[in-house]
Amino acid sequence: MTPNLEDVLATLRVVALPLTTRFRGVTVREAALFEGPNGWTEFSPFVEYDDAESATWLRAALEYGWGDVPVSRRTSIAVNATVPAVAARDVASVLARYDGCRTAKVKVAERGQTLEDDIARVRAVREVMGPEGRIRIDANAGWNVDEAEHAIHALSTFDLEYVEQPCASIEELADIRRRVKYAGIPIAADESVRKADDPLRVARAGAADILIIKVQPLGGVARALDIVAQAGLPAVVSSALDTSVGIGMGAALAAALPELDYDCGLGTAALFSHDVTSSPLVPVGGALEPRRVAVDVSAAAQVEADAERTEWWRNRLTRCFALVDADADADADADAQA
């Protein structure tokens, strides 16, 4: 069921959440929230994304607010801590925000930093988490193949669970996967799934062992479930630095997957100093309860965006809604002709 644009705009709230630590180059995360028959939903493509890419995020928001809710298979979802590209001395304070998490995802290959910085950060994580902690690293496609091979070799001493998106292209991922196979370190694909015209190509190419799945960039829970099923690879459900409302959308996917072998990257609400609810979806004992989050008016008021940014998001949502609406009409015409 697709709502009218007026239904969406009637409850629109635009927020700007401050982060405790710079992440992806930002210190404030903006998001548009609105309420459908199912409850609150979120539209939060990053500000640099164009309308065509952002429209996919809007499809996910509309599905979560107005569409069918998937059947849940589990009542608890284990999640990882996320360690931004901070100095090694700051690692302990970051990990302290993630109650009971047994796994940490560590950002590496940050622009302006060195491999030595990455090694120091990962070493600090290992020291805090101890030998039983699980460490995965995320390069966000920051290395070429030779750099990735050198870095993975250097960091493998810390017993890596997997390496996420070490290189940009699918061909490079396939190459680095072959090069490090001797070390037994799996390669996970993120950008090669969520930003690809064909999210299944990375699986068909044998370029990854694990898929990182994010609901908004893939267009909703139903499409994400279908991608995982067709790919036939283990999936890690992760956030796109969402508010707790968007985390709830990711948790719905994680709860619906037939298999969930790895801790999910859904603990990122712990990176915010404020959220849109008095009951945020943050890790407790290393896990989240999959639930829908309602916007708390008083909490949202503390992080409400100013009038200029609210109008910017209103205009963006309106443009993206027109794209979604046009696609829906085209699909209906195709069905009628079939």
Mean pLDDT on 179-202: 96
Confidence of residue 26 (pLDDT cuts 50, 70, 90): confident
Q: What pLDDT sits at residue 203?
A: 97
Q: Is the pLDDT of residue 1 over 70?
A: no
Single pTM value for the model: 0.94
Does residue 107 carry a catalytic annotation? Answer: yes
Amino acid 257 reads: L
Q: Is the pLDDT of residue 194 over 90?
A: yes
In the chain, how many domains are there? 1
Would the annotation count 190 as a binding residue? Answer: yes
Cα–Cα dist 214/199, whole Å: 12
Confidence of residue 93 (pLDDT cuts 50, 70, 90): very high
Q: Is the pLDDT of residue 24 over 80?
A: no
Say if residues 43 and 31 touch (Cβ distance below 8 Å). yes
Query: Angle at Cα 250 formed by Cα 67 and Cα 135, nearest 5°?
Result: 165
Would the annotation count 191 as a binding residue? Answer: no
Percent of the chain with pLDDT over 90: 93
Confidence of residue 23 (pLDDT cuts 50, 70, 90): confident
Q: What is the CATH number of the domain that holds 186?
A: 3.20.20.120
Question: Counting every residue, how long is the chain?
Answer: 338
Q: Is the pLDDT of residue 335 over 90?
A: no
Which of the following is catalytic: 105, 181, 195, 214?
214
pLDDT digits (tens, 9 = 90+) for 95-110: 999 999 999 999 999 9
Q: Is the pLDDT of residue 310 over 60?
A: yes
- Per-residue CA distances from 62 to 47, 248, 271 (Å): 19, 14, 26
Does residue 214 carry a catalytic annotation? Answer: yes
Would the annotation count 30 as a binding residue? Answer: no
Coil, strand or helix: which one is 136? strand
Q: Is the pLDDT of residue 327 over 90?
A: no
pLDDT digits (tens, 9 = 90+) for 176-190: 999 999 999 999 999
pLDDT digits (tens, 9 = 90+) for 117-129: 999 999 999 999 9
Sole residue written with tokens 């298979």 = 73
Coil, strand or helix: which one is 181? helix
Coil, strand or helix: which one is 163? strand
Q: Can you give the residue range of the structural domain that contains 27?
A: 1-338
Mean pLDDT on 199-214: 97
